[in-house]
Structure 1
């Protein structure tokens, strides 16, 4: 198995890679299918080495061909293989039909679906539907998929979990929930959008022996955020470095009862290396913030007018954590949003921006799906149904770079390919995580002139720290738990 590529593709782009391999490079389609079956068997034996009884579910298209190849090869390894044909294999065409015939020629036989066909299975292989599925699955098939998901056996999905839209991550009536998904030729966009992360389990990749040049024939639609970029963006510091060279972050937030949000953002900016961090908050919050984190500079402000001197001294502004939406919040947010300083906009500052839209290029907007919906005047469900489109619309309407948070956080700017983060975990769905992310992005942005790069790096660092913190368990994870791990993530050249 190969390392995951950075490139992510739509179904049309993967089909173009397949066409290029067959028509331009002269690789027979059945050779590719055989390579897919071999890779699938290698995966099965590697991750479930003790499994002897394998059930392979084969559907009506080319994905079934991969399953028949796997079944044929598994029988030569003396595995107990049961193939359940969920469509008449005689109706298969092309390479998939040949794969079935070869399976039968070597003594293989298929069974029809029955209520007990999964009994005793130690691994289930999903080769029902591939990337060509574009309509809702019929109720009878949906019931079978539900039964598969209820089985106690782990599921290996070939190329894509059946029932998952390969472009949007939408579940088309029903979808396999795999423990592992082995993708061929290209990672599918739907793995990382919508319900994709719930269905794929651990994503793996096999190139089917195609070269890097062949795999780069089709331009990707999205790029995974690479850890390699951190070393370039955050190199080892020179010994003569002082804090004045590492940027000054101004965090504006902490309305009534919400001082903790601003404090979390401020500390996060320090933990990723910002030289100075000032928290501008309501006067009654100052003592509490300073007592909890004395390294923060904290200033009490009565209105936006009090911010001007602080804004002038800052290199970047982070506005929104715990801000509220009262008159004080409107006043300070207005000053921040109309300054000429680079600005990270989060939480209630996004809600206020939705009420009084203005456009700017030197900004990073960090909405969760609900805030994104308010920015666009649509429902949260509509945002989640097409996250890429929603992020692009926010960029078009409000400018700058957009970080659309959630499972598979997206980073979208006007020019260049969108980026997606495939790290992070469900434990990070807890209060204050967004405030920490705002501080992380602002703290990294203070150390570099590239806002979009800082957004990508901040999203990745935040996710990596969350995964490190979750080693003790996802349930009960606190936003402040990330503080221990943020310095590790932003010092990649110093890790042992």
Structure 2
């Protein structure tokens, strides 16, 4: 696969990560390919990892005088042994705690142990074997317990060590991945180290950016360890990381002779009693991303409020489903669900909308009605479930969805067609091409302030407004909409913080991001 943009893409807050994400077995294959093709000895590659991690450690915690390094029996533990040797050479006090007998180490980990034993400074390393009464003393804890090979839940001494790390109150630096986190799914396997910073090597594991990962990874850095791009290109990534800085460059500039018809007509259907704000925020978002015309079908009682708040929208009060026939005929895209409700009014409007073959964004109660009524798959809709709605659509539990978010979003796409956006920390997007090959995107932007009502309504409006516009590649609409949504929340957070962030704040931030397009 061509890696596209060669320069790393930059987060809103300055972190740098590549576009390509991989599963653990793919990273192991890349590791083997690097050893064979560069060529480089396995232990030399491990030393690169240890040196890179140690440099970052010193850069992030320059005042550190002592380290507590906890090592397991695999290659992740071998990284820790290299760090221990480098720290001792630097004159730091090193407390090295082993959870595996050194005599049981194999491969590169065994080579790392032999290397450490051969250093003159080895005698300065305080070596201990883990036991139930072990106490962590270092200023900084380095987690090298469990790498990407973990599949089952953490148990025994490893669970006890993780518990002590998390209760220590000291800063924690995780090497490659926080121990106990599944690198493929982002799920905590029983328990996981809560790191303040993590550095990962060779390639970024997809599980570092979704599910439980944001709670345990901390600040994430990446280093390829000098593996050439030709080797990284040899294995297609399992997922692509969506980033606003890429997609803003792919939004087309407006032609000088453009008119409102060129940018499409969007119909927002929703706003039952007590939920008018949901449809209003969706309509606002449609306007803010540049759709040409916006129509709203809502309860008659809400029309005056809509006109006062958003005079650019053409609002019609509807009592019965046939009242929206003309609006459906005119619309290029339908956004249905924000504040729709699930009583007779909402159900009638939903049924009427589904009788058309218009491109559609389905959210909120639209998804709940879809789950109840089992409509056939469609290629031209975008479904935007959160985990609870996804569980209803898949006839499973929320726990099953969160157990493997990547699997869930693919199953949703295969069952319902179109584009699926599985919302949450590390939102996942699944879309299929003409050959039914599914591309997965992961958008790790946004912030915890988005855990408030109305955020999904704004997203549905963004998506509907982008979908209506000519000239925007249909394959980028979903990832573009999701990262624009998340980055707008980051911009708004600068003004109001996370506690006070409201969905309507995003509507003021969207223009700040789009004005440079």
TM-score band w.r.t. shorter chain: over 0.9
1:195 pairs with 196, 212, 215, which one?
A: 212
Identify the residue that residue 480 of structure 1 maps to in structure 2: 504
Q: Is the 8 A contact 2:269 2:279 kept in 1?
A: yes
Unaligned runs of 5+ in 1: none
Q: Following superposition of structure 1 onto structure 2, how do residues 314-325 of structure 1 map, counting pairs within 5 Å?
A: 314-325=331-342
2:302 pairs with 285, 289, 298, which one?
A: 285
Identify the residue that residue 156 of structure 2 maps to in structure 1: 139
Distance in 2, matches of 1:51 and 1:478, equals: 40
Q: CA deviation at 1:232?
A: 4.0
1:438 pairs with 460, 483, 489, which one?
A: 460
Structure 2 residue 478 is the aligned partner of structure 1 residue 455:
yes
Structure 2 residue 18 is the aligned partner of structure 1 residue 18:
no
2:77 pairs with 61, 64, 80, which one?
A: 64
Q: CA deviation at 1:384?
A: 1.0
Distance in 2, matches of 1:122 and 1:483, equals: 44
- In structure 1, the residue corresponding to 2:295 is in which secondary structure? strand
Q: Is the 8 A contact 1:234 1:490 kept in 2?
A: no
Q: Is the 8 A contact 1:230 1:492 kept in 2?
A: no
Normalising by structure 1, what TM-score? 0.95
Distance in 1, matches of 2:171 and 2:323, equals: 60
Q: CA deviation at 1:397?
A: 1.7
Identify the residue that residue 96 of structure 1 maps to in structure 2: 109
Q: Is the 8 A contact 1:357 1:398 kept in 2?
A: no
Identify the residue that residue 12 of structure 2 maps to in structure 1: none
Residues 149, 38 of structure 1: alpha-carbon distance in 2 compared, 3 angstrom cutoff: same
1:410 pairs with 428, 431, 447, which one?
A: 428
Residues 443, 396 of structure 1: alpha-carbon distance in 2 compared, 3 angstrom cutoff: same
Distance in 2, matches of 1:356 and 1:452, equals: 28
Distance in 2, matches of 1:186 and 1:393, equals: 26
The C-alpha deviation readout for 1:74-94, integer Å capped at 9, x for no partner, is 222222222111222222112
Q: CA deviation at 1:116?
A: 6.1
Structure 2 residue 401 is the aligned partner of structure 1 residue 383:
yes
Distance in 2, matches of 1:111 and 1:143, equals: 16
Structure 2 residue 465 is the aligned partner of structure 1 residue 465:
no
- In structure 1, the residue corresponding to 2:17 is in which secondary structure? coil
Q: CA deviation at 1:125?
A: 0.9
- In structure 2, the residue corresponding to 1:418 is in which secondary structure? strand
Q: Following superposition of structure 1 onto structure 2, how do residues 22-421 of structure 1 map, counting pairs within 5 Å?
A: 22-106=35-119, 107-108=121-122, 109=125, 110-113=127-130, 115=133, 117-119=135-137, 121-358=138-375, 359-414=377-432, 415-421=437-443
Q: Is the 8 A contact 2:99 2:157 kept in 1?
A: no
Unaligned runs of 5+ in 2: 1-6, 9-15
Residues 450, 234 of structure 1: alpha-carbon distance in 2 compared, 3 angstrom cutoff: closer
- What's the RMSD between the two structures over aligned residues? 1.7
Normalising by structure 2, what TM-score? 0.92
Distance in 1, matches of 2:285 and 2:354, equals: 21
